[in-house]
Amino acid sequence: MKNDANGYRDFIIKRVQYFRNEAKLSARELSQRMGLSPSYVSKFEMGELNIPADNLLDAIKICGVTPEQFFCERFREYPKEKDFLEAFRNLTEENQELIFKVMESMK
């Protein structure tokens, strides 16, 4: 279980770094926008401290992404997949079934 937690922690650290860089924010600037000490994000990214959920959610929001996108396995494709799912949800049940059949035939 400890190894799983470390893997998830590394995942979160890498995602914070990625989206912080995408938002063109330094670790110091993100820390300050979060209302925390200037070295907070750097210490988190170096594994020196844990980040509480509310601080993580603040960081995610400041970086301009949603929690769904942050945690999405294929986060680079998230906008396209989100649009697809929204369009799919707006189809009639009959048309959704047709889409499933087409997808099954493509396997």
Count of alpha carbons within 13 angstroms of residue 45, beta-carbon side: 19
Where would I find the beta strands (DSSP E) of 1-107?
none
CATH number at residue 15: 1.10.260.40
> Is the same domain home to 32 and 60?
yes
Provide the pLDDT for residue 5.
65
Q: Inter-axis angle of helices 2-22 and 53-62, to 10 degrees?
A: 30
Total of domains in the chain: 2
- Residue located via tokens 């959920």: 53
Asked if 103 and 61 sit in the same domain, the reply is: no
pTM over 0.85: no
The pLDDT, as a whole number, for residue 85 is 84
pLDDT single digits (tens) 61-84? 999 999 998 998 777 777 788 888
Of 43 and 81, more confident: 43
Are 52 and 82 in the same domain?
Answer: no
Please tell me whether residues 90 and 58 are part of one structural domain.
Answer: no
